[in-house]
Amino acid sequence: MLLYIHIPFCDSKCYYCAFNSYVDKFHLKEHYMEALCTQLQFELKRFNITSKEIESIFIGGGTPSTVAPALYKKIFDALKPYLKDNIEITSEANPNSATAEWLEGMFKLGVNRISFGVQSFDKDKLKLLNRSHGAVQAVEAVLNAKKIGFKNISIDLIYATLNDTKKLLENDLSTAFSLPINHLSAYALTIEEGTLFESKPYMSKEKLGLTSWFFKKITDFGFNQYEISNFGSYQSTHNLGYWEYKDYIGLGSGAVGKLGLKRYYPTTCIEDYIKNPLDIRSELLTLEDKKIEQIFLGLRSCVGVCKDLLNKEELKKAKLLVDEKKLLFKNDTFYNIDYLLADEITLFIS
C-alpha cells in the first residue's frame, strides 16, 4: 500500500503545467491540511489499514515546499502507527521555497527523500517556462539537502523545449551530475490542454532522435534507466510500486487513489475539498482495463510483464518480439529493452 498526498499550492504557474495547483489560494493552507487529516481517517477505514501497512509516502503537487513543516505535523502524527519501518518518504520541492529551514523541518518529520523541480539550470529556459527559481537557488537547494542529511536526492529536468540545443542540455546534465544526486527524472516538454503553452505548440520540440540522445547522455553519466523518464543509482520504491500496480491512497484535492479495480478521485476544487474532503468520485475498471494498464506500465519500466498475464495469442506475439530481440524473457517475465517503444509494443501485443 502506497500513499500519495497532493499539495495544490504554487508560487507561480509554469506555462506548461496542467496539474491541479493554484497561486492565489495560500490563505486556505491551514484548512486544507486539516481536511487532509479528515480524508486520511476515512481512507484508512476504506483501505482496511489497521497496522503498519503503508510502505511508502510521496508528497507531490503543486509545490509541497510552499507549506511550512509545522502544518504537516498533524498528518505525520496520524500516520505514524500505520507506517512500515524504514520506508521511503519523498517530498517534492521547488528550489525557491525549499529553504534550509524548510528542508530541516521536513527531515525532522521523517521525510528522507527530496525530489527537486529544477527543470533546467539555464536562466533563459527557466524564464521561458515561467519557473520561479534561478539556477543558483537550485544548486544551493540540492547542497543544503545533502548537508541536512537527505541520502536520496532527485531532480527533474525538462528537455525538448524551444531553443534547447544539445549544448544547453549537456550543460544541464553536467551541472546536475556535479551535485550530490542519486536520481534524475527527465521529461519531454509536452503541450497540455488548458495551459498557456496550449496556444504555443511550437514550444515543444520533441523528437525521437533527441530523446534517445538525451537518455544516452544520462546513462553515460552512470545512472541506470529503470523507467521511461526515471534514472538513478537508486530506484524509488514509491515509483516502482505504481508500476507494479500496487494499491495507493490518494489524499488531497486532485489526488488519485486505487484499490483493486476502483479508482478514487477527490474533488479538484480546493474550497469544495475543504468543505467536504469525502466528496470523492469513483470509477470502476474492467479486468481488461487493468490488464492493459499492467502491460503498459510493465513495458515502460524495469518491472516487465509476467507471462501469466497474457493469453495464448498475446503470448505468441510477445515470443515473436523476443525472437526479434525487442523483448527479453527471463524468470517468466517479458522485459522491454527500449522503453521508447513501450506504446508500440503494448499495442502490438494486446
Applying CB under 6 A, the residues found at the interface with ligand SF4 are 10, 13-14, 17, 19, 21, 61-63, 94, 117
Q: How far apart, in whole angstroms, are the C-alpha atoms of residue 158 and residue 190?
A: 10
Q: How far is the CB of 176 from ligand SF4 (least distance, A)?
A: 18
Q: Which is nearer to ligand SF4, 21 or 346 (CB)?
A: 21
Q: Roughly how many angstroms between the first and final C-alpha of the chain, as a whole number?
A: 28
Q: How far is the CB of 250 from ligand SF4 (least distance, A)?
A: 16
> Interior CA angle at 152 toward 150 and 158, to 5°?
120
Q: Which is nearer to ligand SF4, 14 or 321 (CB)?
A: 14
Q: How far is the CB of 192 from ligand SF4 (least distance, A)?
A: 10
Q: Which is nearer to ligand SF4, 63 or 253 (CB)?
A: 63
CA distances 186 to 100, 253, 341, Å, are 25, 26, 17
Q: How far is the CB of 209 from ligand SF4 (least distance, A)?
A: 26
Q: What is the DSSP letter of 277?
A: T
Q: How far is the CB of 106 from ligand SF4 (least distance, A)?
A: 17
Q: Which is nearer to ligand SF4, 13 or 29 (CB)?
A: 13
Question: Which residue is closest to ligand SF4 by CB?
Answer: 17
Torsion of CA 121, 171, 60, 142, to 10 degrees: -70
Q: How far apart, in whole angstroms, are the C-alpha atoms of residue 16 and residue 237?
A: 28
Q: How far apart, in whole angstroms, are the C-alpha atoms of residue 284 and residue 1?
A: 19
Q: Which is nearer to ligand SF4, 95 or 241 (CB)?
A: 95
